[in-house]
Amino acid sequence: MLEHTKEIVLVLLGFVLAAVPLWYDRKRRLKGHFQALRAELDLVEEKAKIFLNDEVASPLYRMPLRVYEVAVPILLTEEALSEEEVTFLARFYSQAEDINRGLDNAAAMLA
């Protein structure tokens, strides 16, 4: 009986130990996506301030959207975002897309 219990405990311990690296890897990936989103949000803010202060009709730069396009679907799949966070990001990036579209239109008009 004791030998059988020992085997069961060792099998369960094996399952737990196998799950730890997967959990750690998921946590690390999610943290990386959140950090990249934060950096892109800061970059969009910085470029928007430059646009407002420099009064250039059609600057060469556009608002970056790459991290949003890559990270948000992953974060949504992993259920790592709250409803409020999704709403904030959707509004923020929708505005950034509108600004980019306006900058493209201004460049077309100047060309």
Q: What is the pLDDT of residues 6-38, one digit of tens each?
A: 788 777 777 777 777 777 888 999 999 999 999
Q: Which two tokens stand for residue 6?
A: 């020992």
| 76: CB partners within 8 A, 6+ apart | 86
| Dmax (CA) of the chain | 85
- pLDDT score of 79: 94
Q: Which two tokens stand for residue 87?
A: 């709403």
Q: Which of 91, 100, 99 is nearest to 72 (CA)?
A: 91
Q: What is the pLDDT of residues 60-69, one digit of tens each?
A: 889 999 999 9
Q: Give the mean pLDDT of 76-96.
A: 95
Q: Which two tokens stand for residue 55?
A: 């009064």
Average pLDDT, the chain: 89
Question: Residue 23 in 3-state DSSP?
Answer: helix
- pLDDT score of 105: 93
- pLDDT score of 104: 93
- pLDDT score of 42: 96
Q: Which two tokens stand for residue 96?
A: 């950034």
- pLDDT score of 3: 73
Q: Give the mean pLDDT of 104-110.
A: 90
CA distance 35 to 33: 5
